[in-house]
């Protein structure tokens, strides 16, 4: 068989990388559950017409062509695609199960998604996302737009101990943007938002040209949009600066004032509950059409070139069956993007790449049952154990443990007590499988900041 060629955009971690990923997932899950979010999982496929509701991302959908029942015509309405985020499937889940859910419904969801985009640093075609959302029936109080980014800040902050860089959550409010844009005479708000969303990628000059070409803006209107996008800060002066800019252009908008009031509440609450983490940034647009209120993007301080690792916002009409509407707010962490940076930048490491804390040596194959019995006794007490694969010389068995990062080797006693050796220090002591235990730090592999 020829040597296989890796597929670009489909990450596969080595065992120590998987330990890092699992630690991140466990930390996120634990934080979400501390805040009362219930875990769910949705199917991997959705009807293509539902996935295409997101507009310009339609070219990124992986379409399944061989899961149709016999006799189906294979038309667009019957085709299925792999979900490329967890928000659209969640909206469908809410509509299908509304009669069985208690609202407001808080859920977290950790699954793989698939997106047919060009692979690059931190961008994959198959990756893990971790989402939290709160959905209401008919209405959803604004305070959830404050609460959710702070939950996410707490979840990411819980990873600081292993070497995850500090995060900044950049926030804006769609009502501010829409009120301002309409106030200066631009009615194609979605086109403006899509253009502003590209600021970090293509720069202000090209965005200004896009605003003129695609949103119908004059050069003066385009400059006003860029001036709004340039406003940022972590205190209430941001609100004053937006009002001053609006006044200079003769903008008087109730919608903008509502958005500014909400943005101010978020900034004030964040200053108390997560000082320095949340920053108002008026260029945050989130180009997706369904966002209606607060929008969020999160960057790693010192790794801003990676782009946002966590984003989301308020949506009012995504989950609606015509008669009932379930507004929500949510954020999504690109777990694979985060883990890839932690590994590639050498920010974190695992203390070992295997679960086992102990290797039980085998003197010869006739005594393997005795070694197996020791392993069974240790495992019954929650200690992860391997038994040596062969009855080689003890020196080779110790080297085998060392290569795998296993800290202890257990020697069953033939005529005397068992002994256990810490192969890092060389200390060897008598031991009883019914009572001996490694330290808490050695029992399981840990994720720690990388040295240096």
305 labelled ligand-binding: no
Angle of CA points 386, 388, 392, to nearest 5°: 170
Does 240 belong to an annotated binding site?
Answer: no
In 48-164, at which residue ranges do the beta strands (DSSP E only) sit? 63-64, 80-82, 105-114, 126-135
Provide the CA 321 distance to its chain's centre, in angstroms.
29
For helices 174-183 and 219-229, the axis angle rounded to 10 degrees is: 160
Residue owning tokens 């305070």: 143
Is the Cβ–Cβ distance between 284 and 170 less than 8 Å?
yes
Among residues 287, 266, 261, 286, the alpha carbon closest in space to that of 278 is found at: 266
123 labelled binding-site residue? no
Q: Binding site annotation covers 372?
A: no
Summary count for the chain: helices (H), strands (E): 15, 19
362 contacts 385 by C-beta, under 8 angstroms:
no
Distance CA 172, CA 313 (A): 9
Confirm or deny that 286 is annotated as ligand binding.
yes
376 assigned binding-site residue: no
**What is 430-445 written as a DSSP string?**
EE-TTT----HHHHS-
Question: Residues with Cβ < 8 Å from 161, sequence gap 6 or more?
Answer: none
Residue 366 labeled ligand binder: no
Q: Could you give the C-alpha distances from 357 to 351, 409, 432, 434, in angstroms and in order?
A: 11, 9, 16, 16
Burial 398-427 (b: 16+ CB within 10 A, else e): bebbeeebbbbbbbbeeeeebebbebeeee
443 is in an annotated binding site: no
Residues in the chain: 452
The verdict on whether residue 326 carries a ligand-binding annotation is: no
Structural tokens at position 228: 């709004």
Q: Phi/psi zone of residue 398: left (φ > 0), alpha (ψ -120 to 50 degrees), beta?
A: alpha
Which residues belong to the annotated binding site?
85-87, 115, 129, 133, 286, 290-291
Which residues belong to the annotated binding site for L-histidine?
85-87, 115, 129, 133, 286, 290-291
């Amino acid at each position: 068989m020829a040597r296989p060629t890796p597929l670009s955009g489909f990450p596969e971690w080595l065992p120590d990388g998987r330990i890092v990923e699992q630690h991140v997932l466990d930390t996120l899950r634990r934080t979400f559950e501390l805040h009362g979010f219930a875990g769910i999982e949705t199917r991997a496929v959705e009807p293509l017409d539902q996935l295409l509701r997101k507009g310009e991302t339609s070219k990124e959908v992986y379409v399944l062509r061989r899961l149709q029942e016999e006799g189906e015509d294979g038309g667009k309405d019957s085709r299925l695609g792999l979900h490329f985020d967890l928000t659209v499937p969640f909206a469908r889940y809410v509509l299908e199960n509304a009669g069985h859910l208690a609202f407001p419904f808080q859920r977290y969801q950790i699954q793989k998604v698939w997106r047919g985009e060009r692979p690059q640093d931190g961008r994959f075609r198959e990756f893990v996302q971790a989402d939290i959302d709160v959905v209401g029936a008919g209405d959803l109080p604004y305070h959830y737009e404050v609460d959710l980014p702070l939950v996410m800040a707490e979840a990411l902050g819980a990873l600081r101990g292993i070497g995850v860089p500090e995060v900044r959550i950049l926030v804006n409010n769609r009502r501010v943007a829409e009120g301002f844009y309409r106030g200066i005479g631009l009615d194609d708000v979605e086109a403006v938002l899509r253009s502003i969303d590209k600021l970090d990628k293509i720069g202000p000059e090209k965005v200004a040209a896009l605003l003129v070409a695609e949103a119908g803006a004059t050069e003066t209107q385009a400059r006003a949009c860029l001036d709004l996008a340039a406003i940022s800060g972590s205190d209430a002066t941001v609100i004053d600066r937006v009002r001053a800019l609006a006044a200079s252009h003769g903008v008087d908008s109730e919608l903008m004032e509502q958005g500014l009031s909400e943005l101010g509440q978020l900034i004030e609450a964040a200053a108390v509950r997560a000082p320095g983490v949340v920053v108002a940034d008026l260029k945050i647009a989130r180009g997706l059409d369904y966002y209606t209120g607060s929008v969020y993007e999160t960057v790693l301080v010192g790794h801003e070139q990676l782009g946002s690792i966590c984003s989301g916002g308020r949506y009012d009409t995504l989950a609606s069956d015509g008669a009932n509407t379930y507004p929500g707010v949510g954020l999504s962490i690109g777990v694979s993007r985060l883990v890839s940076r932690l590994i590639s930048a050498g920010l974190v490491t695992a203390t070992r790449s295997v679960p086992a804390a102990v290797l039980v040596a085998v003197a010869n194959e006739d005594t393997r049952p005795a070694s197996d019995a020791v392993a069974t006794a240790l495992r019954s007490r929650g200690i992860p154990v391997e038994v040596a694969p062969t009855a080689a010389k003890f020196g080779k068995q110790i080297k085998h443990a060392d290569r795998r990062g296993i800290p202890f080797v257990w020697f069953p006693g033939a005529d005397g007590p068992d002994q256990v050796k810490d192969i890092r220090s060389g200390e060897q002591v008598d031991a009883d499988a019914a009572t001996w235990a490694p330290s808490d730090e050695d029992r399981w592999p840990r994720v720690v900041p990388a040295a240096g």
